[in-house]
Structure 1
Amino acid sequence: MIIKTPNLILRPWEESDAECLYHFAKNPNIGPIAGWPPHENVEDSLNIIRTVFSKRETYAVVKDDVAIGCVGLLFHPDTNHWWGEGAVELGYWIGEEYWGNGYAFEASQALIRRAFDELDVDEIYASYRIENNQSKRVLEKLGFKYYSELVNENYLGEFFQEVAMKLEK
């Protein structure tokens, strides 16, 4: 499945994206705020492409033939939390060099449309670390509403607070 938006292409991740993924995912401003460690080498990135990014409805966000980020819908049991039947979890990140261009919003909006129009999804949840105001703004612009506050655990075993938001069909 390939999804085209005015500025982006959402397409499945390819193994040939590993070097590009590593370029963005090694940045400590990207992964830790989303709860995952910065990638240490291209092999880490290739492994993520083969496992995490190979799940259904997970897409490379591509701008000018460069995979600049990721957007995906997580279905239970791959979600970070159990949201209920007919619900999915939205996740996204964009490489820091591309922040401030509305790409997280644009990619997420396209995937939300697909979820509601083609995938028989009733509710979409998303969460962000309480200090991640950029992600909060993206979700509010997409129409998500406050749902609850949660405590989650990161890859280092540290606990952090996050806000869960909900979007209904």
Structure 2
Amino acid sequence: MKTLVTKRLILRNLTFSDVEDFYNYAKKPNIGPSAGWKPHQSIEESMRIIRMMITENEVWGITLKEVDRVIGTIGLHVRNFDNAMLNQKEIGYVIDDTYWGQGLMVEAVEAVLRYAFIDLELDKVLCGHSTANLQSKRVVEKTNFIYTHKEFRDHYDGTQIEIIMYELTKDMYLGGTNDKSKTEIRL
């Protein structure tokens, strides 16, 4: 997996040494629930999740350029799609609330979209957020995703939550307003 570098961020492979940073934001009560997962209860739980993300090939740790400390994660995930003929993935992301409202996640999403469409040659990237997750809604709006539908997904507490779904096709991306020149990709 490639390291992605933006103006303020480095998106890199996660390592086991990132577990403490990951746990520090994953345990917060306002982080996981809006994304559909419960706050982490222990550093051991965070270690299990990091181990899973390390084996999944396209999950990056988000770090600030100045400090190599994980402040979030972003990844491209395979889902069961209605149209299995399309080469597509779903983007998912989370960032420590200390960094909300600074445009960092928009920057990270733009870098991953460039990688998805240019390097992986995906046809489509999907994105979804719960109706209550206004921060994620702003990221989706700023990165030019188009609303497609609503669906319900299982929540960690056994309930169903409404998810607003969006998509961005390669054609829309290449013809759109995303500034693709601000991301450096390293092998």
2:24 is the alignment partner of 1:27: no
Q: What secondary structure does 1:38 align onto? A: coil
C-alpha distance in structure 2 between counterparts of 1:108 and 1:32, whole Å: 21
In 2, Cα distance between the equivalents of 1:48 and 1:124?
A: 23
How far, CA to CA, are the matches of 1:71 and 1:54 in structure 2? 14
Return closer, same or farther for 1:96/1:3 CA change in 2, 3 Å cut-off.
Answer: same
Q: Does 1:150 align with 2:141?
A: no
So what's the TM-score if we normalise by structure 1? Answer: 0.94
Question: Could you say what secondary structure the match of 1:160 adopts?
Answer: strand
1:92 paired residue number: 93
Q: How does 1:34-113 map to 2 (within 5 A)?
A: 34-63=35-64, 64-75=67-78, 79=79, 81-84=80-83, 85-113=86-114
SS at match of 2:109: helix
Question: What's the CA shift for 1:143?
Answer: 0.5
1:83 Cα deviation (Å)?
A: 5.0
8 Å contact from structure 1 (residues 83, 125) kept in 2: no
Measured after TM superposition, the shift of residue 82 of structure 1 is: 2.1
| 2-structure distance, mates of 1:24, 1:45 | 10
- What fraction of aligned residue pairs are identical, expressed as a percent? 38
RMSD of aligned residue pairs (Cα, Å): 1.1
1:35-85 C-alpha deviation (Å, 9 max, x unpaired)? 01111111111110101343111000011211000011102xxx3x52533
**1 or 2 for the larger relative contact order (CA 8 Å, sep ≥6)?**
2
How many correspondences in the alignment?
165
SS state of the match for residue 51, structure 1?
Answer: helix
Deviations 1:96-142 (A, max 9, x none): 11111111111110000000001020001000001212111110110
**Does residue 116 of structure 1 match 2:121?**
no
Q: Which runs of 4+ in 1 moved over 3 A?
A: none
**Match of 1:70, as an amino acid?**
T
For the pair 1:128 / 2:129, whether they are aligned, the reply is yes
Q: Which residue of 1 aligns with 2:184?
A: none
Say if 1:70 and 1:94, in contact at 8 Å, map to a contact too. yes
2:15/2:54 contact within 8 Å kept: no
Q: Which amino acid aligns with 2:81?
A: W
Q: What's the counterpart of residue 138 of structure 1?
A: 139
Structure having the higher Rg: 2
Secondary structure, aligned partner of 2:163: strand
Matched position secondary structure for 2:76: strand
1:17 paired residue number: 18
The structural deviation recorded for 1:28 is 1.0
Structure 2 unaligned blocks of 5 or more:
171-187
